[in-house]
Amino acid sequence: MIMASMNALTWINEKLYEWLGEKNAADTLSQSVPNNVTSEMGLALMDVADVIRPYPQVIEYLQNGKDDLEGLITVEGGQQALTAIHHYLEKYGMRCPGEIDLTRTRWSENPAALIPVILTNIKNFEPNASTLKFEQRRQEALDKEQEILARLRQLPDGEEKASETKKRIDLIRNYAGYREYPKYGMVSRYFVYKQAILKEAEQLVHKNVIQEKEDVFYLAFEELKEVIRSNQLDEQLIIKRKDDYKRYEKLTPPRVITSDGEIIAGEYRRENLPAEAIAGLAVSSGVIEGRARVILDMGEANLEEGDILVTSFTDPSWTPLFVSIKGLVTEVGGLMTHGAVIAREYGIPAVVAVENATTLIKDGQRIRVHGTEGYIEILS
């Protein structure tokens, strides 16, 4: 049913354009679908901000950059703040940037990584904003549904067209949110695996087999099993792999590579674009103007409501930032990648697969994002 709901997106856009001349209607219909564990994660952090907002001493403590969250217990409201943060981590603490990489630091391992986003939410929103935002977008989707069905009924064979469209809308509204659960489940298991591996690694450090417990991340799983069995490891192997990793980090992968290793290059068609436009892939409709914030590290985000996020790529860990932005531009992505899906659900115009976006667009510039047509204009 998840795949059927994704196919329904394409069907609705194609048929409504054919029947009504309506472009990207499915984007609005995708807003605030229920049971999306990723979009709920962004809204839930707004609720954490609601708990903290009434306590100036807690806000001051967090603004001073103190990573020891347990120290909050010493200030008024600190216990309430800690309880809210820990409750959030119980459900989402296994997530982090680059989360399919087992070695990445999880939010549960470093809760301070969430502080910049919490402070941004306190600054940008009034209390109960998460519920208001969700309900506003949900109502927009329902209004759009009623408008489309009413227009279809006025056409020849209108009742049939409306009935078929209604089925597709229901597929989107009822099942699209579940698309995020497989990734959520996978990452939840990864955190369990990581904890088990690090427990073994601690024993290896204790036995002086390895220098640091994180050294085990440079071993294949079968190699790790053998090291645990034999309590022996060639230290030069770890040193070499660390050096290799640093070198690989500097490489720039091709934009498209097939399973056979073929590298495919190409360019966007520009016939209908303004001369100075930056082309990309349209994934969430609408046009928005605002200040570009070029952010490569989620932990360094300092957003004002109405900013446009420009970054290399996003994954589910970036979702809490999406509640503050009004537009999205990424260098990597497609119609069904994370940024596109959450942008549609949050009602954010988005253009992805924009080559060199983070260098062509400068932080602080005013830009216009054409999420329907798939390009960006630099205004100043």
Positive or negative: CA dihedral 202, 204, 205, 206: positive
Closest CA to 113 of 135, 85, 90: 85
CB 44 within 8 A of CB 130: yes
For the chain, the straight-line distance linking the first and the last C-alpha, in angstroms and rounded, comes to 45
| Listed residue (165, 112, 132) closest to 46, CA to CA | 132
**Shortest CA distance to 194 belongs to which of 101, 91, 317?**
101
Q: Is the dihedral of CA 171, 175, 176, 177 positive or negative?
A: positive
Q: Do residues 316 and 99 touch, judged by C-beta distance below 8 A?
A: yes
86 assigned to active site: no
Phi, psi of 309 (to 5 degrees): -80, 125
Backbone phi, psi, residue 157, to 5°: 55, 35
Catalytic residue among 86, 87, 206, 338: 338
Provide the H-helix boundaries in the chain: 2-20, 25-29, 37-52, 56-63, 78-92, 115-124, 129-153, 158-175, 181-206, 221-230, 235-249, 319-322, 338-346, 357-360
Positions annotated as catalytic residues are 338
